Structures are given as structure tokens and as C-alpha cells.
Structure 1
Amino acid sequence: MKAGSSPPFAAEGNVLVVGGGLVGASLAIALDAAGCRVTLVEAAAPRANAQPSYDERNLALARATVNGLDAIGVWPLAVAQATPIRHIHVSRAGEFGSARLDAARHGVDALGWTLPARELGAALLRRLDGCRRLRRLAPASLTGLEKFDGGWRAQIQTPEGTEHIDAALLVGADGTDSFVRAQLGIEADVHDYRQTLFVSTVTPERDHANRAWERFSDEGPIAMLPLGERRCGLVLTVDADTAVEVASLNDADFIALAQRRFGWRLGRLSRPGKRHPYVIKRVAARNLVASRAVLVGNAAQTVHPIGAQGFNLGLRDALTLAELIAGRDDPGAQDLLEHYAARRAPDREGTMAMSHDLVRFACMPQPLLAPLRSLALLAYDRVPPLQQLLARRGMGFRGEPPRAVLERTP
């Protein structure tokens, strides 16, 4: 230990969560509610406008996700800002097939909800303030790790100086470019989609009627998500080579591009909000666990935003881990981590394959595929077992979900 640094924080039973974004904060709350000792290291100051993941995106929260957020006491703090999704329409430009999902048809009040990421972040911060066993270090950064028999010794840099924390379990929730993943020596497979995502808001001429739209084309997917005050969240994917050009468009030209890509089902689009670009790449860790360490959320897998599965998948990571740790004396036990990896595998692999294959199949500029794509969409629209499968997976019920999301299972 360096002179002047603080003595280590005791490892026994302690879980160190590195990363205070949407998934890391949710995990810390769930662990605290389960009676665990938790230390949360957040790179940003504890303010919604300081946390990078609490940004301008409009999140499409699956029904299972909302159940989970409700179970850990976050949803009551966010629901006033959320808009229910009662219908979903999926189609491809220039082709005849489409698939439609209706909440009432599946016996639920909503298939999911739209919520700005910044509003969810604010709700998480309020809920974190109510945690009793949680120790938060923010702003703080992990600068070093040292393995010992009972866990990990982390070197944490804070504005007050260097602190050392011993933890029986180290959790990497620090995003796509995870420092924890790199320090653990876990390799990741990276696929650059050569696409950039622009998020914004628009006002449609016609009422969205709580319908979400996903539309594919050779140029990539575009989505419209229902928001309050008759606004819609726009998610527009463009080729990386045109991203700079799109970013520089004036509002009139940008809305014309969105109109051309989306079509006229909502009438004329107007009043675009600020545009925010995000580079799209797929990053998949080759292992979820190491000795007394685990990856969750984007540190474990970053998926294409098609289908809006990123945070939904990450929250199921967090709630499954919290469920397995609850009541265990040793949160870093090898059997626990192996059980976690095995239990998450079907959901993780299935969701990653779905998003990756969908963007390739639905957006591939191959005319010979057009009839097959249309027939596939019609099958999901008209064949009840396929419709039910599509609905349940869209609502976040895949594999063996954590119990917290099943409390209101349809």
C-alpha cells in the first residue's frame, strides 16, 4: 500500500460494482435490497446530467424490464415520465409483409414503455439515495486491480485521494470499452456495423396512438417510439460514410430524410429535436466470469440497437446476479458464478443472435430475399404460436429470466 493511502475496505461479503450507468446502478440497488454489502464506483458525479448513459436516448423498456424496475423500487419514481407501448408495427420499405403486435391481444395493458434515458437515470439516482447498505464513490475511477485468494483489491482514485477496497466479488458494469474486462484478460469479439445511429424527437401530423414502429430498408432500420404530448422518439440508422453529412443537415433536410426513410403512416413529420449520434458496434465478451469476477450489461455484450434490447438485456443480467447472490455468504463463490454464466447463456446468446441476424437479413440489399422477408413477417403476424413467441420475446421473457421480472408475467 502506498504511503498516505487509506487502509483496505474489508473484502468479506463485499461486492464491488464498477460502473454507475443504468445497469450498474440497477444492480447496486438490487443487491442493497437483498441485504448485501455493496460498493459502487461511479466515474461521473452523482447527477443525471453528468452520467454519460443518462443521455438523450428514448429507451424502449420491455414489459419484463418494467416489472424488474418496479421490483427494486425504481419504476414508481419514473412512471410519470413514461409512455405505454400498446401496439408495435414491423415492416420493410418496398415490401408487402408486416407484423403487428397488440397488447390487448396478449392480455396485457402494455407491451412495454418508452422512457427517456435521462429520466430513468434520475429515478435511479433517487432510489440510490435511499439505499442503506450501499457505499457510493462518485466521482471515482478504478485505476488498478490486484488478485488475492479471497477476492480482488481495487485501487480507486477519488477527489480526496487514493483508496483501496477489497471485495469478494468484482463486477464490471463499466460499458462497452470496459476497463474491468481488459484487466481480467477477457477477450471480446468486435463487429463494426459501419453504421451511426441518430436519436432525436419529432412531432407527427397524426396521433401515434401508443404505437411503436420499426421499419427496415437497404439503408438500415428506423424506429418511431411513442412519447408524451404527441411527440415521437426518432431512431435513425445511417451508413457510417454519410454520418458526417447527416449530422450537418439543417432541420428541414434532416426531417425530409426521416420522412423518406419512414414513410407517411404518421402523416407529415415536423419540429425535430436535437440530434445525437452514436457509433454502432457489436462487442461480445468471450467469457462472462473469471475468478471472483463477473461482467454485466454492455461490458458483457453490446448489441445493435435494432429491437431496443441493450438495456433490457443488461437489466436481466443484473437482476439474475442479484438473485443468485441473495442469501449467500460468499458472493464470489465459483459455483455461483458458473451458475450465473450458464443461466444467462440462452437469453444472452439468443438476444445477440436475434439482433445481429435481424440487421443482416432485414436490411440486406438483396431483392431475392424480399419474398422470404415478407412471408416471414406475415407468418409472425398471422400464425398464433409465432405471434405469441414474438410477443413474449419482445416483452423480455426469454430463457430463465430473474424472478423479479416475472411478478407480472402475462
Structure 2
Amino acid sequence: MNVPVSRASNPSGVLIVGGGLVGASLAIALDAAGIAATLVETAAPRADAQPSYDERNLALARATVNGLAAIGVWRHAAAQATPIRHIRVSRAGEFGSARIDADRQGVDALGWTLPARELGTALLRRLDECTRLTRLAPATLAALEPRADGWRAQIGTPDGRRSLDTPLLVGADGTGSFVRTQLGIAAEHHDYQQTLFVCTITPERHHANRAYERFADDGPIALLPLAERRCGLVFTVAADDAEAIAALDDAAFIELAQRRFGWRLGRLNRPGKRHPYAIHRVAAAQLIGPRAVLVGNAAQTVHPIGAQGFNLGLRDALTLAELVAVSPDPGAAELLEHYAARRTPDREGTMAMSHGLVRLACLPQPLLAPLRSLALLACDRVPPLQRALARRGMGFRGEPPHAVLERLP
């Protein structure tokens, strides 16, 4: 079915392909800036239908929450979010660790955790408030034809094909982006040979609003604080072991997680339903094409270590909306080049950080152990290093969009 939220004078405006977390955020940000847009979503507009509104628990950086508040989404999600006031990073079997505390950084929280499904629900509620947005759902991009002033898109709907002209095409359609392929933009693929299991657990001791990231030879394991004493477990295993681990009963699975995480929160209990995700790194060779741009996972899919995926993608969306809002031509080459220049340092720095952490922190090489421990101790004890680490972790990297900024002490 077609789901028109409004009738804009321009029937398409900016055309956003992909209605996941980043695509929906971009649509909302453009609407808030007074820009007409059309959002093409593969799934019906329900939180239980959109694939990216899944069972993961998202760690939202402070900058991300600032951005969501600026576009009117956070007021629909804040009641379901849990503040992260402390972060602990360690490596199994090694002496070093790093602690980042909100109080030491002069803020009330470093970030917040929120189930992806709750963020999806908040985005849907905010989308319903948009007045310059047309939503087509379920719908798919079937074909593209370049034109002098933009693109002509053929959109497949249950009622047949629909033709739309747009001055700016945005690919927000995920890791296997059809838009990226149609634009002829190559992508670098890396298979980490790892599988991520996510679920909720209840530890014996209260998490006290701490998030934990613990590295080991087999990959990282993280616990994120949630409401009602629960935690979100993010458990990385070798891909070759994933099938056997998926087949474990709850008792055996939680015993394995306990061995990997340790006993700092006491006994882990009551695991919820497990969801596996294969882990890949995908990096588009370029962010822009003629009157076209890639955002979110279509531009870069990063390892979930450090929980940077959606945080990075939202900064893509808000930066693009900021630039489009002050340009008479949303697809102008100068605008897109400016966008790519602004996003490149943040993108490359975040991707290098996530890839480097996996390579260095999880390598089973004893000679690296003292160097890793010393690096963690330096981040814990040297104030300038800790401040730099904290600011990056809170999402203030490169030239961020104005919507995420705040005055920090």
C-alpha cells in the first residue's frame, strides 16, 4: 500500500531509498528543515515489520541523543532509555583497563541505551507528525534513469510502478545497497568470520548504569545497562562456532557468556531470545555520485565493536540535512562535495577505530599483552587521553552536524 503522509507541491523532492533507522531520521530532519522529501520503505510502516527495528539494544552516544532531540524524536523515546554513566573497557587475562565516568567529563551521561525496536517506534511516531514528507510503503526502487537535473526513479508498489523525478537521490538502503550498485560505486568487503549474538540478561548485581566492553581472543563481549536491572548482552563468537552456540540451551549459553564476561556483576541469569548476526565490514569507495549520496550502512557498515554504526549513520543524515536546508539546489555538486569533505574525517576515523580494535584487542598474541595493558592504563590515567577518548565515544568527532553540538565544560 502507499502511505502518503502529506501532499507536497513537488511530488518527490529529495528521494530517500530506505526507511530504516538512518533513512527515517534523515526524512524527519529534512521535514523539520522545511524540505519536501519522499521516503521509499520496503516494509509496511510498523515497528514489527521494518527489519532494522529489531531486537538489538543500541548504545546511543551523547551526540546522537542531542541530534534525536533536535529533530523531535527523543521525546518519544526518552522514557524507554537508560543512561550510561560509566564505561569499563578491559581485556581478558591482562592487567590493564580503562574507565570513563560521566562525572569526570562534567556531564550527566555519556550516552543512553535503547532497544532498537523502541527507537523504531519513536521514529514512526515522529514520521506521523511530518507535514512535508511522502512515504511509500511497502515499495522498492526498481530502476533509475539519469537526467540533467537529477534522477527519474521507477518505484515498485503493490499498485504497480510509479515514476518520480528527484534532484537528489539518497541511498539509505543498508549494507547491500541497491542504490550504491546502480550508481556504479564499488565497495570494499571484509568478512570478520565472526557472528554476533544479542539478547537480554539479568545479572545478580545491579549494573549501576555501567556499560562493559571486554576483549578476548574469540572476540569482544559487551553488557549494556537497561531498565529493570536488565542488561543487553552483545556476544561475539567465531563464525565456525555460531551454529553450535545457537543450538545451546539457555543454561549452557549463559555459562559460556559467564566464562567470557567474568563475575564483576555476579551470576548472569534469565537470557532472553537470542538473535545472531554475521559481522562484515563494507566501505563504499566514495560517498557521492552525480546528484546522489550514500548514508548510513549503504556508505559504511562497521564492526559493532564500540557500538558506532547508527551513531555514525545519524551524523551522516544530520549533516546532509543541514547542508540541504541552506542550498537552493539539494543535488548541487558543490553541496555534495562539501558533504563528503565534512563526513570523511569522522567516517574514516570511526572505521579505523572499530577495525583496529578488532585486530589489535582480540589478537591472541602474548607479546601484545603488555602493550595493550599499558595503552588501556594510559587512557585511564592520562587526562588528555581520557578526555579525547570520551569525546570521541560521545560522538563529538571531526566537524559534527550542528544539531548534535552542546557546550561541554
TM-score, normalised relative to structure 1:
0.97
The amino acid of 1:115's aligned partner reads L
Residues 69-102 of structure 1, C-alpha deviations (whole Å, 9 max, x = no match): 0000000000000000000000000000000000
In structure 1, distance between residues paired with 2:12 and 2:400: 25
Equivalent in the alignment of 1:304: 303
Note the residue ranges of structure 1 that are not aligned, 5 or more in a row.
1-8
- Read off the aligned partner of 1:336 and give its amino acid letter: L
Report deviation, 1:408. 5.3
SS of the equivalent of 2:50 reads coil
- Corresponding residue for residue 282 of structure 1: 281
SS for the counterpart of 1:321 is helix
Residues 41 and 13 of structure 1: CA distance in aligned 2, closer, same or farther (over 3 Å): closer
Query: How far off its partner does 1:11 sit?
Result: 6.8
Aligned length: 402
1:38 and 2:37 matched: yes
1:255 matched residue in structure 2: 254
The equivalent of 1:295 in structure 2 is 294
Partner residue in 1 for 2:153: 154
- 2:336 corresponds in structure 1 to 337
Q: Is the 8 A contact 1:40 1:136 kept in 2?
A: yes
Q: Which amino acid aligns with 1:364?
A: L
Q: How does 1:69-218 map to 2 (within 5 A)?
A: 69-218=68-217
Q: Is the 8 A contact 1:11 1:151 kept in 2?
A: no
Whether the 8 Å CA contact 1:10–1:167 is kept in 2: the answer is no
Q: State the distance in 2 between where 1:343 and 1:391 align.
A: 21
The 8 Å contact of residues 171 and 294 in structure 1, kept in 2 or not, is answered as yes
How many angstroms does 1:154 deviate by?
0.4
Give the residue type in structure 2 aligned to 1:325.
V
AA matched with 1:281: H
**Residue 54 of structure 1: how far off its partner (Å):** 0.2
Quote the Cα distance in structure 1 between the aligned partners of 2:33 and 2:235.
40
Gapped regions of structure 2 (runs ≥ 5): 1-7
- Which amino acid in 1 is paired with 2:196? L
Amino acid at match of 1:397: F
1:25 aligned residue: 24
After TM superposition, give the deviation of residue 327 of structure 1 in Å.
Answer: 2.7
Asked if structure 1 preserves the Cα contact closer than 8 Å seen for 2:11 and 2:164, the reply is: no
CA deviation map 1:127-180 (0-9, x unaligned): 000000000001100010000100000000111111000000000000000000
Secondary structure of 1:40's partner? strand
Shift in Å, 1:14: 1.5
Name the residue aligned to 2:3.
Answer: none
Contact kept in structure 2, 1:10 and 1:165, CA below 8 Å? no
Mapped contact 1:11–1:165 kept (Cα < 8 A): no
State whether residues 99 and 380 of structure 1, in contact with CA within 8 Å, keep that contact through their aligned partners in structure 2. yes
- In structure 2, what is the Cα distance between the partners aligned to 1:11 and 1:142? 19
Instruction: Tell me the TM-score normalised to structure 2 length.
Output: 0.97
Which amino acid is 2:230 matched to? R
Alignment of 1:218-367 (within 5 A): 218-367=217-366
Deviates more, 1:10-19 or 1:51-60: 10-19
Runs of 4+ residues deviating >4 angstroms: 9-13
Residue 407 of structure 1 deviates from its aligned partner by 3.5
Cα distance change of structure 1 residues 12 and 138 upon mapping to structure 2, 3 Å threshold: closer
Residues of 1 paired with 2:406 and 2:72: CA distance?
Answer: 13
> What code does the residue aligned with 1:311 have?
F
Contact 2:152 2:166 in 1 (8 A): yes
2:398 paired with 1:396: no
Please state how far the C-alpha of 1:44 moved relative to its aligned partner: 0.4
State whether residues 88 and 98 of structure 2, in contact with CA within 8 Å, keep that contact through their aligned partners in structure 1.
yes
